[in-house]
Structure 1
């Protein structure tokens, strides 16, 4: 379970293991999108969420810290959620996900911003102090980032072009 929680050791990288976890999520998401498109990414995100809850619960059992920095499976799940508009947009436009490269950058930056600053519901989930809260704060941060990606895409297409 420790390998899942640390995403095969990525969470042990220093400094900023959460950022390393988010960076590791990008090529994994790219591979999933190339292999099976948006729906494979969505399915793997759901699976990773439930595996992440179980792994986090197992790794933190009987420990005072409910969310040690080396657990980064939550960052992977949140980062993947932030990329949903990119994968879905590529599928709907029938183009390669490479063509939506600005969305990749926006998803990464916005997810890290929401994950680090923990506004509103993100902070609420983080304060749960349990394995579900560890995963949920990143799910919510990923959702906020996805909304930001959609907003930035709309701005780029409707205002700038």
Structure 2
């Protein structure tokens, strides 16, 4: 369970284990996209969410304080959120029939926006985080990933609609 929750122990890297977890999610997303495209990325994101929720429940079962319900080393939620943030990049590469690395600005935007929403926890992200449960641990990153994905789409639309 600890290996799943910590994303194969990436969560124990210091400093900023959440950033390390998000960073580790990038090459994994690349491999998943290369193997099966957008649909495989969506499917594995769903599986990772379920496994992450289960593992987080197990490792926080004896949590006493709010800090204990979401230990900094639990970063499987970062993988899920980061992959959601990359959905528009994966979908766009597949739709255009191009190598996903050609959409490198989208990768950077997805990473930066996801970390921004995950760290600052605005609106629904913070509400999910305050649930104080394993589901809240997972959901705050899902919502941050959705917000980041919307930001990636908005930035791509701006670039392609205005600047090109």
- Normalising by structure 1, we get a TM-score of 0.99
Match in the other structure for 1:17: 17
Q: 1:90 aligns with which of 90, 93, 102?
A: 93
Is the counterpart of residue 103 in structure 1 residue 106 in structure 2? yes
Q: Distance in 2 between matches of 1:95 and 1:160?
A: 21
Q: Distance in 1 between matches of 2:62 and 2:124?
A: 27
Q: Distance in 1 between matches of 2:110 and 2:26?
A: 10
How many residue pairs get matched?
A: 161
Which structure 1 segments of 5+ residues have no match?
A: none
Q: Distance in 2 between matches of 1:26 and 1:51?
A: 19
Q: Displacement of 1:134 after TM fit? A: 0.1
Q: Distance in 2 between matches of 1:116 and 1:99?
A: 28
Q: 2:148 aligns with which of 138, 145, 148?
A: 145
Q: Note the 1:99-138 alignment, pairs <5 A.
A: 99-138=102-141
Q: Displacement of 1:63 after TM fit? A: 2.0
- Normalising by structure 2, we get a TM-score of 0.97
Name segments (4+ residues, structure 1) moved above 2 Å. none
Q: Distance in 2 between matches of 1:57 and 1:35?
A: 30
Match in the other structure for 1:3: 3
**CA-based RMSD:** 0.4
